[in-house]
Amino acid sequence: MSLCFLAKSKAFAFYNFGSDTFYCFYPLQVAVAQQLKELHTFTWSFDLGLGGFLGSWFDPLWLITGWFPDSWQLSLRLPMFVARMLVGGGFIYGYLRQTGFREPVAVVGGLGYAFSSCAMINAQWEAMQGTELMQLPALLFLLELYLHQRNRWAAVAAGIVVGIGHPLGLYMFALLTVAYACVRLGIQPPHERKHLVLAFLAFAAWCVVGVALTAPILFPALYYLFDSPRVSGDGSLLLLKSSLLSINDAWTIGSEIAGLLGKDLLGSNGQYAGWQNYFEGPGFYVGLLPLMCIPQLLGPRASARERTLFLIGISGVAAYFVWPALRHAVYGYGHQAFRFSMYWISVLLLVLGAAGLNRALESGWWRRGVMIGAGAILIIVLGTMLVAPAAVNVEHATRVIAFTCVYAAIAMLAAGDNRNINVYLLVAICACELVTFALPAVVEREAVGADGSSPVGRYDDGTKQALEFIRQTADDDEFFRIEKTYSSVFLDDALVQDYSGTASYTFHGSSLSRFVDAMGLPRPVPHPNYISSMATRPDVLSLLAVKYVLSRGQAPAGASKMIHLTKVGDVDVYLNGAAHTFATLYESVGSESEAGSLPIPERDATLLSRPVVENVADVSARLAALSAVSRSPGLERRTHVRKLRDDQLAGEISTPVASLLLFAMPFDRGWSATLDGEPLELFRADYGLTAALVPAGTHAIALDYVPPGRPLGIALATGVLAAFTVFGLLSGGLGRARMHWLRLRQSAGLRAATMRAAVSKIRPSRRFT
C-alpha cells in the first residue's frame, strides 16, 4: 500500500473526501514543526488567521516529526500513518494476549483493528481520530495490565496516554473506562466484583497522576477547547436532550448495519451513499472472520461467562444502532457524526469475535454457529442489495460474499469430524482479506502529489515569491498583515506560506468568533471554525493592519484607494495606503450597540475613526480620569510595534493625550502587557480585538504570550513528578525494609525450629539416662 504512493510520487494527503489531511492538518503540521524548531513549544501563531493558539489540535507524533525540516513534513505523513497502524494494532494484540487469548487469535485481532474501517478511513484525520486510534487500545492494554499485576506504572502510563491527546479525550476515555468496567463486572463471578471495583478505583487514581504529568500541554488545550464557540457556544449542549426520547431513522440504522461490513459496501470515497459522507458515516468493519465467529459464544461448550459477554455485547451494539443518545453522549458535545464512538463498537465487535474464535479453536467449531454467522453476513449483503440497489458497491459486496464462503467452508469442514484446523491458515486468509478491503480507502484516492500539487491548488504557487518581494521592499520592521484575494489551497494558506493574513480554519476563540459574527464577515461554512479571507471588506482590512494585498487576475475590492506596486509572476502586489498600524491610538470610544445598528459599510468606516466597547460609560470614565492627570501638548501621535517572535511584541508609542490603544489581534487571556515596565490591563474592544488605555507621553510597550493554564500545568506536573518520585523512593525503601524484616523473621524462625528439633532429640536420651 505504501509502495503505491511512492511509485506514483503521491503524498498521503487527499483533496477529495478527507481533504482536511491536506487542507488543514498539513498546514498545522508545518506550523507546529516551525514552532518546535524556533521556540521549542506550542504557542500563539500570527499566521493562524488573526492569531491563535496552535496546540488546540495536537498529534503526539508531531513531537517527533516536528523537528524535521519543513520540506519533509508532507512526505512524513505516510510513515506517520503507518506508525499509527502499528501502534494501534500492536496494543490490541497486547490487550488480547493480556486477557488470555492465544497468540494466533491476538494476531487476528491486532490486524483487524489496524486495518479496520476506523483505521483506514477515519484515522487519516490524525490530530483527533488518528491519535484516538492509538490511545484507545493503549488504554485497554494498560488497564488490563494493571488489573492483572497491580502495577501502578501501567496506570500512570495510561493517564499519560489519555492526557497527551486531544483534551476532549479526558471525557471520552473516562466514559469508556466506566463502560468497560461495567462490562467487566457483568461477566465477573459475584464474589470477585468487590475486588474488581476497588481495582478500577485505584487505577483511576493512578491515572490522574499520569494525566497531571501532561498538564503543561493539556491545560492550555482544555482552556481553548472550552473557549471555542464550537464547544462552549451554541454547539456545546449535549444532544441528549433532543435524542433521549428519539430513535434513529431507518436509513441511519441501515447504514450502521451495512457499516458492519465496511463503509465501502455503500460506495467508496466520493461514491459513498450512506449516512452523511464517507468520513462521518458509520463503519465498524474489523474483519469478516471475527464477525462470523461471534455466534460461537452461544455454542454447547461455551462457558456461562462467554454467553454473558455475548448478551452484553450484542445488546450494547443493538442499543447503539437504534438509540442516537449513545452516539451523542460518547462525543461529548453537539456533534452527531460517527467518530470516536465507532472505535468503541469496533473494539467491542473485535473482542466478541476473538472470544468466539478462541472458543471454536479450543472446543471445535459449532456448526450451527458457523451457519448463523455466515448467514447473517450474507443477509446484510443481500438485504442491502435488495433495499438500496443503486447504493451498493457490487465489487465490495462480491468480495464480502467470497471471503465469507471461504471462512464458512473451512469452519464447516473442521466441524464435521470435530477436529481443529490449522489456525495460521485462517490468519493468512484474514490478512489477505483485510488488505484487500483496505485498498479502496487508502489507495483508490485522489491524492496530492509528492511535490504538493493538486487540482484544488498548491502552496508553492508563486505566493512565496510575492511575499519575498514585500519583505525586501518594506521600509521598516513594524508588524503588518498581508492578505490574498485568492486561495492557494484553503483557509490555512498562511501557515504554510508564512504570512499573517485574516483567513483561518481552527478552534477559534470566543473573542475572534464574536468579532467575525458581529462584523458580519464571511464564513464559507456557517460554523465558528471557518473564517474566510476578509479581502472583500477593504475598511476591515485597514482596521486589521493589512498593509499589502495580493491578487491574481483581477483588482481587489477598494483597489482605487490602493497602489499597485508590481507583478511577481502572475501575482499583483498592492499597497494599502489606508491601512492602520498594528497598534492604533484613539481619543474617544463609542458603543457596540450603537455601531451594531449601522449598515455594514457605514459601520466598517466608523470603526476606522472610533473604536467601540461593550461598557462605553466605564471605559469613557477611565479614559477621562487618565486625561485629567496626563497631557503632553505638541507630542506627535505615533505607534511602532514589532513582532519579535510569535509570542512577543514590543514597541514604542507616543500620544499627546490619554488614549485607547487598539491592537489588530483577537483579545486573549494568554496575552499580558507592560507599559514602561508596569503591568497594563488589556480588555476587549471592537467586538473582539485587544485594547488598553494609555496615558499621554512617550512609552515603551511590550506584550508577552503564555498559553492560559501552562504555568499552572508546569507547577502541577513538577509537583506530581516530585511527589511521585519521593513516593517511589519511599515505597522502594519500605519494600526493601519489609523484605529484610521478613527474611530476619524467617531466619529467626528457622533457628528456633532447629533448636527445638535439637532439644527434642536430646531430651529422650536424658530421660533414658
String of DSSP letters for 91-141: HHHHHHHHTT--HHHHHHHHHHHHTSHHHHTGGGSIIIIIHHHHHHHHHHH
Give the strands of the sheet with 697-705, arranged side by side: 638-645, 648-655, 697-705, 671-675, 678-680
Give me the phi and psi of 455, to 5 degrees please. -60, -25
Cα–Cα distance measured from residue 115 to residue 353, given in angstroms and rounded to the nearest whole number: 15
pLDDT tens digits, 79-90: 999 999 999 999
Instruction: Report CA-CA distances (Å) from 132 to 122, 136, 215, 329, 624.
Output: 10, 6, 18, 17, 54
Q: Cα separation of 6 and 311, whole Å? A: 46
Kindly state the DSSP code that residue 636 receives in the 8-state scheme: P
DSSP state of 446: -
User: Would you say 614 and 577 are in contact if contact means Cβ atoms under 8 Å apart?
Assistant: no
- 17 neighbors 455 (Cβ within 8 angstroms): no
- What pLDDT was estimated at residue 237? 46
Question: What pLDDT was estimated at residue 759?
Answer: 55
Q: pLDDT value at position 229? A: 80
The model carries a pTM of: 0.90
- Structure confidence at residue 243 (pLDDT): 64
Which residues does the chain have with pLDDT short of 50?
Answer: 234-239, 764-769
Which helix (H) or strand (E) segment holds residue 222: the answer is helix 215-227
Q: Across-strand partners of 672?
A: 704
Backbone angles phi, psi at 684, to 5 degrees: -90, 135
- Could you tell me which of 383, 377, 369, 420 has the C-alpha nearest to residue 399? 377
List all residues 6 or more positions away from 195 whose beta carbon is below 8 Å from its beta carbon. Answer: none
Nearest CA-CA partner of 550 in 566, 567, 571:
571
Q: What is the pLDDT of residue 507?
A: 87
Q: Do the Cβ atoms of 655 and 581 come closer than 8 Å?
A: no
What's the pLDDT tens digit per position in 483-515?
Answer: 999 999 999 999 999 999 999 999 899 999 999
Give residues with Cβ within 8 angstroms of 421, minimum separation 6: 410, 411, 413, 414
Q: Write down the pLDDT at residue 732.
A: 63
C-alpha span between 480 and 477 (Å, rounded):
9
Looking at residue 761, what is its pLDDT?
56
Cell numbers given for 15:
483533496
* pLDDT at residue 730, rounded to an integer: 76
Q: Cβ neighbours of residue 718 under 8 Å, at least 6 residues apart?
A: none
533: left (phi over 0), alpha (psi -120 to 50) or beta: beta
- What's the Cα-to-Cα distance from 102 to each of 97, 116, 355, 388, rounded to whole Å? 7, 21, 10, 40
The pLDDT of residue 760 is 60
Do residues 697 and 622 lie in contact, with contact meaning Cβ atoms separated by under 8 Å? no
| Class of residue 71 by CB neighbours under 10 A (exposed 0-12, middle 13-18, buried 19+) | exposed
